[in-house]
Structure formats: C-alpha cells, structure tokens
Amino acid sequence: MADRLRFLPAGADALLVELDDLETTLTLLDRLLAAGPEEVKELVPAARTVMIRFDPLATNRPAIEEFVARIDLSMRSARQGETFDIPVTYDGEDLGDVAELLGWSVEELIRRHTEATYTVAFTGFAPGFAYMTCDDPAFDVPRRKAPRVRIPAGSVAIAGKFGGIYPTDSPGGWQLLGKTPVRMWDTARPRAALLAPGDRVRFRDMAKGALVPASVPEPQADAAPPAEGLRVIRADRPALYQDLGRPGRADQGVSESGALDRAALREANLCVGNPRDAAAIEVTFGGFALRADRPVTLALTGAPCPLEIRTAGGRAVSAPFARPFALDAGDELTLGVPSEGMRSYLALRGGFLVEPVLGSASTDTLAKIGPPAIAMDDVLVPANGPACAVDPHRPEPKHLPRAEESVSLDVVLGPRTDWFTDKGVQTFLSQDWEVTAESSRVGVRLSGCAALERRDAAELPSEGTALGSIQVPHSGQPVLFLADHPLTGGYPVIGVVATHHLDLAGQIPIGARIRFNPIAAFDPHVKDTDR
C-alpha cells in the first residue's frame, strides 16, 4: 500500500508532514536526519507528523515538499535501546477518572499499567519528556478538556495512546496517574535526558516495594555568590538573562527560548556597543533596581520604563530610554512601570558574566534550563568583554501596545484550521481576544466572548508546534505560544503568528485585546501526495 503524505503549513518558515502511522513517521525522520536538505534548520517528530523548519531565505515550502515526496519510505526504521524500571506512587489526581473511562477499577488500572511495557517513540514537549507507546492497546484515553496550569515534576501520565513522565513543573493536559522520584532530565548526567527513542520502560508500584534506582552523584554545591558587581536592590518579579536562544536542539527536546522581543534585545546591545546576541536582562513590567559598584554604561530598550538614577550624593536624575547612559560607583538605577508594552531589555557595555547552558545564556522557564532567575540581593557581574564604538543616532523606538488597546497580529492559517467549523474560523478572525493574567513566557492565554467551535471532539495525536502557534484546547479559548513553548502539543493549532509580528506578540500586556489578520504562507493550499 502506497504511503500517503499530507503537507500542511505551520507558519511562514515551517510545515507539517502528516503520515499514516508512527512507524512511517520515524522512518521519514531517519531519512531526513541522514540526508536532508541543508536549508532545513530543525526537525520535530511526533505521533504521525514531522515538523520541518527551514530557512525561508534559502528555500521555500514547495521545494521542501518536493524533496520529501521523493523519499523512499518502504524500508522501515528499527530502533533499540535500554530498559528502565520506573517506580511510581499511584496517587494521581486523575486515577479514578481514567479507571472510569476505561471501565476498570483503580486496582485493575494500576495492575495493567505495571504489567505493560512502554517504548519511547520520540521526545518533545519539554527536555526529558518522552512520548511512549504501550503494548497494551486498551490504554487509550482523551486529554483533559482544559490543560492544567501546573503539573508537578515526576508526574506519570497518559493521553491518547501515549504515556509520559513530566520532567519539570509545567502546564499540561495529560491524565495524571501518579508520580516518580526518578529525574527525567538532569544536566549533571552525561546524557541529560534519562530516556531516548528506542528505550523501554516498565512501571513499578512503590506501594508493593518497588525501589528507587541509585541516582548519579549530586552535583557539587554552587560556588559562593559574587561579592562585586551590580547589586539588585529591587525585583518585584524575577528578571531573566536572555539572548537569542539555543536553536537546533529539538533532538534533545529543547526549544529555542531566548528573548521574547528579539529586536529590542539587539537594539539594547547596539546601544552599548555589544555583539547583537549578547545576553541582556529581560525585565517584565518594570519594578527593578540595581546599585553599581563601579562606573558602567547601560541601555534599556523594549517596553519604555521611566528610568531614575539616584547618585551616590542623593541627587535624582532621569536616564534616557533607548540610548546609552552611565552610572558611577554608588549610583542606583530604578526602572518604573512601563507605559506601554510588557518587557524591557537592560544591556551592559561589555556584557554580563553568565554561564551558558547548552550554548545559550537564556533562561527557559518551561524547560528549567539556563541561569536562575535574578532576584533581590543578587550581584550581576560585568564580563568586561570587548565592545565597539556606539552610534549615537539610534532610531526612535516603536510604539508598543497599552493594556486598553487592540492589537492586530498577522497569522498564517493552519496546520489544523480544518478541525474547526467555518463559524469557528470566522470567530477566530473576527472576534477580539483579551490577554489574560495567566499569560507567561510559555504562552499568551486568550479569552473571547465566544469559544472556537470545532467540527468534532476527536483527539489530535501530539505534533510539533512552531513559535507563534495558536493552540486551541477543548475549552475553545486559544493559547498563543511564545519563546518557552513546548516543542509538541496535542491540541489543534488553528494558525501561526507571522514571523514579523512575533516580537510584538511578546510585548502585548495583560488586558490588551488581539485581533488576528489572516495572510498567505508561501503556498496557501494544503497539498495531498499519493505515492
């Protein structure tokens, strides 16, 4: 029987290849990893799809489709790995609901879960999160109608025909059976992710004496905090080190992360003569202050906070926004609440001394990768790196949205627009969506007067999600994925915010409204290929 490929747009620089089954999907992945076009930047495999991110300046969607359509998928991939026994305390919040859905008692659910063997098919959602298939076909349950805002690390869960273990505290819509003390992701290990594709997992009930396997040695205690540098004397909300992220690590379940407003980050660095990709501090909604212990040059861009310098002599003066300014030893800088936008970027001439993780100084709040959040009494150490001459004639900063304003975002419809009724699509494009207080660097949670109407309540197998994806859970209230979004998700994506509006999306404050404007991708038509 010929393989059927379906190509679906996933924004301006990505597409989804939909296949018949998991086996064919993994075969396509292996072929692309072995001999894919050099213009391909990243591959994200999932249950029945491979998301292909490409460089739109070097190729286009039809060229990628043509290449994929020529690949011979008749020789299936075979993967083998290790076997792990994972101890579980079966006390999950959804244990009773799952048993009822399957028509079993809780005792039978636990028995069958521990008798089954799970095999890792692919990784995604978050670092260390392994999607596992089960040899007991009866394990097939829907996700929750609305995802939880926080699921504890170590939670053992199922959704659809997959099982998984949450490696860190994170949002999620899977059904919770219990928890394990075994760490799924640990950068102190030679292989940070415990599970890799091909590995097999058997769950063991700790109530019946299952033992926790010996762990790796605990990492050495952190060195004493630095005593010299710029001391943080106010942090109403945790501030974060951010650069341009860690692209190309989807094979480890790691998303790109990085600054939500990349243009503002680059501009802050240009203001002080740093490389454009140097790490700066991302401050959300102001309320941040520091004291210098030496002469330094700084610049703030992004959301325009009032900037006050209180000199060592007690005099208060204003500092310019989006321009370089100096502090002397003993001076204090305070960032007020921005009048527009959400996130400001504070750059230091010569850069901050911050240890990169997986090649980046960015803090990924979902994956828990990168430097810890910056809090009061922390000391920011100057790196004293090389810096260039500064152009004093920087462009005027752009206007950013205010809480009471409506913002238009261009969006490329798809890949799963056809999962919604015509009325649902029309509601998505015609209705104002309010940004709610549950929004974060992971995603902007939206609320509209009318929920989006789906064609049916079917479960979507987990698939890759691009930056800017607008995912719609069963509640019909969308979530716009930002830089710390999961690599894969199990709710349909009705559209993806255009690349040129991603920075703007990261600056829309709580209480503002969003209106989505549809634009065409490289090829606006979904294409089916039979071979």
DSSP 455-512: S--PPPPPEE--TTEEE--TTS--EEE-TT--SEESS-EEEEE-GGGHHHHTTPPTT-
Instruction: Specify the range with the lowest mean pLDDT, choosing from 51-65, 160-174, 304-318.
Output: 160-174
User: Would the pLDDT of 32 be above 60?
Assistant: yes
User: Would the pLDDT of 529 be above 60?
Assistant: no
Q: What is the pLDDT of residue 526?
A: 41
Confidence of residue 525 (pLDDT cuts 50, 70, 90): very low
Instruction: Specify the range with the lowest mean pLDDT, choosing from 90-99, 205-214, 475-484.
Output: 205-214
Q: What is the pLDDT of residue 215?
A: 59
Contact indicator for 491, 384 with CB cutoff of 8 Å: no
Contact indicator for 301, 271 with CB cutoff of 8 Å: yes
Every domain of the chain with CATH number 3.30.1360.40 lies at 4-79
Placement of tokens 């520091």 in the chain = 290
Contact indicator for 398, 301 with CB cutoff of 8 Å: no
How far is the C-alpha of 161 from the C-alpha of 138, rounded, in Å?
8
Q: What is the pLDDT of residue 214?
A: 64
C-alpha 522: how far from chain center: 25
Confidence of residue 3 (pLDDT cuts 50, 70, 90): low
Candidates 3.40.50.720, 3.40.50.261, 3.30.1360.40, 2.40.110.10; CATH matching 4-79: 3.30.1360.40
Q: What is the pLDDT of residue 96?
A: 96
Every domain of the chain with CATH number 2.60.120 lies at 230-380
Every domain of the chain with CATH number 2.40.100.10 lies at 84-197, 406-526
Contact indicator for 259, 244 with CB cutoff of 8 Å: yes
- Give the helix/strand (H/E) hosting 240: strand 240-242
pLDDT tens for each residue of 474-503: 999 999 999 999 888 889 999 999 999 999
Q: What is the pLDDT of residue 317?
A: 96
- Architecture of the domain made up of 230-380: Sandwich (2.60)
- Stretch 451-460: mean pLDDT, rounded? 89
Q: What is the pLDDT of residue 149?
A: 87
**Which residues is 139 bridged to in the sheet?**
none
User: Would the pLDDT of 392 be above 50?
Assistant: yes
- Stretch 380-401: mean pLDDT, rounded? 92
- Stretch 136-144: mean pLDDT, rounded? 94
**Which residues is 17 bridged to in the sheet?**
7, 50
Token couple for 237: 């909300």
Placement of tokens 């396509």 in the chain = 28
- Architecture of the domain made up of 84-197: Beta Barrel (2.40)
Q: What is the pLDDT of residue 75?
A: 84
Candidates 3.20.20.70, 2.40.100.10, 3.90.650.10, 2.60.40.1180; CATH matching 406-526: 2.40.100.10
How far is the C-alpha of 273 from the C-alpha of 50, rounded, in Å?
40
Mean pLDDT of the chain: 91
464: how many CB neighbours lie within 10 A of its CB?
29
Contact indicator for 507, 400 with CB cutoff of 8 Å: yes
Token couple for 257: 């992360």
